[in-house]
Amino acid sequence: MGILSFLARLGDLVPSTPKPARRPDLKYRLLFTLAAVMIYYSMTSVTVYPVSAAAGPQLPPLMQVVFAATTGTLAQLGIGPIVTAGLIIQVLVGGKLIELDLTKPEDRKLFTQAEKGLALVIAAVEASGFALTYRMNVFVTISIALQFFVGALILMMLDEAIQKGYGIGSGVSLFILAGVARTIVWDMFTPITVPVYALDGSVRKYRYGVVPYLIGGLMGEEVNVDRLLYGYVPGHLAGGEAAILPSLTGMVATFMFLVVVVYLQGMKINVPVTIQRVPGVRGRVPLNFLYVSNIPVLLVGIVISDILLVRNMVEAYVPQATWFKDALDGVLAYLTPPRGLLGAIYDPVRSVVYAAILVGLAVLFGLMWVEVGGLSPANQAENLIKSGIAIPGMRANPRVLELVLAKYVYPLAVLSSIIVASLTVVADILNVYGGGIGLLLAAGILQQVYTALSYERALEMYPVLRRFIGE
């Protein structure tokens, strides 16, 4: 408990918003949520002084999506410290490495404050690491690190304020959704043109957004079928990477992907139960079909992002260790998705290996999360017993309930991990906007926001219901 107490004391240093004495009305909470998004967008547009965004280390695209981060700005760290700290503390508590009873208010407060303290430490370390890569003098380096750190601190404060009832949902989820939504809107509607350098030295300009490109075609401009359907344009962009632009196929696949994920997230597996307090009355306990939600893919994304970050740091600081860099490049070649449908067709072996690795890691992380995230049969059985619920024909014994629930929980964990990983692979191959992992996270967050809004709307319309549930 010594480490937790130390982290909790650090967490007390974070400026904290007091919990409102009375829940604000829905209009106020919506305005606060919108203001938080605007602040986040502003932070992603403000470059730290005195360097430019292009001068520093470029964050991997996957890391920018998962952590809602933007290179060289006040949002350089994004929600990375918050997410990483939360996962570490959750794993330690769920794995019984730290004994905490989260049903007790004092332990729950210690958990929350320790999480904030660890996020503060991670933010300080990451801010210093990124600042050092600019190779400035010590005073400028400290200035850059402080700007990164303050940016992360602002996002931490906004997240806490939203969770305490001033906004809707969670700040972490909100910023991820805002980042993915911006990418989707950019890929669909941005009217800017990008130069593509062909092998013969010629340069052609293409409208980046799909909708402006279609409108230009309807107005008589030349339309490249490969670019329209697959996003493929012969040549390379100014940075040297292959010219893969947003495609019409990707736009259609984006909306289809959202519909499929929302439908799957609404599916339930019902376990028949009896209520001991009311003899003879039977009911059902619904388990989500996507039992582990998008957590396995999120964890895979974090692992891949960390490998990409290590690779970039090795290239920047240890250029002589070419063997290590080459080894990481070889690993990353099979951990990054193929570049669109044509990339999967021309390199099927890499696509199959990538899919197998992603599915395998997702299943592994899914099973791990069941054990440490409070979703195990033992935890579920304990919750049912405390609620006075039993399986028909079975004794109200936690061990008996655990054995019955294990027949549902573990197959659901494996199946849901395979499904979300497979959907991510298909989304990456079809080049959906925001990437497969980003769009999967956004779809889950969208449904959570919709559920929260429906709940808040019901409380606004029926004040009696608010008093009934004690709010």
Same domain flag for 241 and 257:
no
Task: Please write the tens of the pLDDT for every residue from 312-365.
Answer: 777 767 778 788 888 888 888 888 887 777 778 888 888 899 899 999 999 999
pLDDT at 37 over 80: yes
Asked whether residue 19 is domain-assigned, the answer is no
The pLDDT assigned to 239 comes to 60
Same domain flag for 236 and 324:
no
Across the chain, mean pLDDT equals 80
Same domain flag for 239 and 315:
no
Q: Mean pLDDT across the stretch 65-94?
A: 83
Same domain flag for 441 and 396:
yes
pLDDT at 401 over 80: no
The pLDDT assigned to 58 comes to 64
Position 441 confidence tier, pLDDT thresholds 50, 70, 90: confident
214 compared with 306, residue with greater pLDDT: 214
Position 242 confidence tier, pLDDT thresholds 50, 70, 90: low
Residues 97 and 88 sit within 8 Å (Cβ to Cβ)? no
Asked whether residue 282 is domain-assigned, the answer is yes
Asked whether residue 174 is domain-assigned, the answer is no
Exposure class string for 306-319: b at 16+ Cβ within 10 A, else e? ebbbebbebbeeee
State how far the Cα of 181 lies from the Cα of 44, in Å rounded to an integer.
14
Same domain flag for 225 and 286:
no
The pLDDT assigned to 337 comes to 80
Percent of the chain's residues with pLDDT above 70: 86
Q: Mean pLDDT across the stretch 141-155?
A: 91
Ordered strands of the 282-288 beta sheet: 282-288, 268-275, 389-390
The pTM of the full predicted model, rounded to 2 decimals, is: 0.83
Same domain flag for 222 and 128:
no
Q: Name residue 267's amino acid.
A: M
133 compared with 212, residue with greater pLDDT: 212
pLDDT at 38 over 90: yes
pLDDT at 374 over 90: no
Of 84-88, 162-166, 215-219, 308-312, least confident by mean pLDDT is 308-312
* Domain termination site, one of 225, 246, 267: 246
Same domain flag for 111 and 209:
no
Sign, CA dihedral 74-79-80-81, equals: positive
Calculate the alpha carbon distances from 77 to 55, 70, 315 in Å: 16, 8, 20
Of 37-41, 44-48, 138-142, 220-224, least confident by mean pLDDT is 220-224
Start-to-end CA span in the chain (Å): 33
Q: Determine the structural domain holding residue 97 and report its residue range.
A: 1-13+24-168
Asked whether residue 440 is domain-assigned, the answer is yes
Same domain flag for 444 and 335:
yes
Same domain flag for 355 and 404:
yes
pLDDT at 95 over 80: no
pLDDT at 149 over 90: yes
Same domain flag for 242 and 160:
no
Sign, CA dihedral 139-143-148-154, equals: positive
Residues 217 and 224 sit within 8 Å (Cβ to Cβ)? no
Task: Please write the tens of the pLDDT for every residue from 244-283.
Answer: 788 888 889 888 888 888 888 888 887 776 655 545 556 6
Tally of domains within the chain: 3
Task: Please write the tens of the pLDDT for every residue from 154-203.
Answer: 999 999 889 888 888 888 888 988 988 888 888 888 888 888 887 777 78
Asked whether residue 175 is domain-assigned, the answer is no
Of 199-208, 233-242, 446-455, least confident by mean pLDDT is 233-242
The pLDDT assigned to 31 comes to 92
Q: Name residue 204's amino acid.
A: R
The pLDDT assigned to 223 comes to 80
Question: Of the candidates 275, 280, 277, 271, which has an alpha carbon nearest to the alpha carbon of residue 390?
Answer: 275
The pLDDT assigned to 465 comes to 54
* Domain termination site, one of 168, 198, 223: 168
Position 430 confidence tier, pLDDT thresholds 50, 70, 90: confident
State how far the Cα of 391 lies from the Cα of 395, in Å rounded to an integer.
8
Same domain flag for 280 and 417:
yes
Q: Mean pLDDT across the stretch 10-15?
A: 81
Query: Could you give the angle at the alpha carbon of 63 between the alpha carbons of 62 and 64, nearest 5°?
Result: 90
State how far the Cα of 76 lies from the Cα of 34, in Å rounded to an integer.
21
Asked whether residue 180 is domain-assigned, the answer is no
Asked whether residue 181 is domain-assigned, the answer is no
Asked whether residue 90 is domain-assigned, the answer is yes
Same domain flag for 232 and 258:
no
The pLDDT assigned to 291 comes to 82
Position 150 confidence tier, pLDDT thresholds 50, 70, 90: very high
* Domain termination site, one of 218, 246, 274: 246
Please report, for the domain that includes residue 114, its CATH number. Answer: 1.10.3370.10
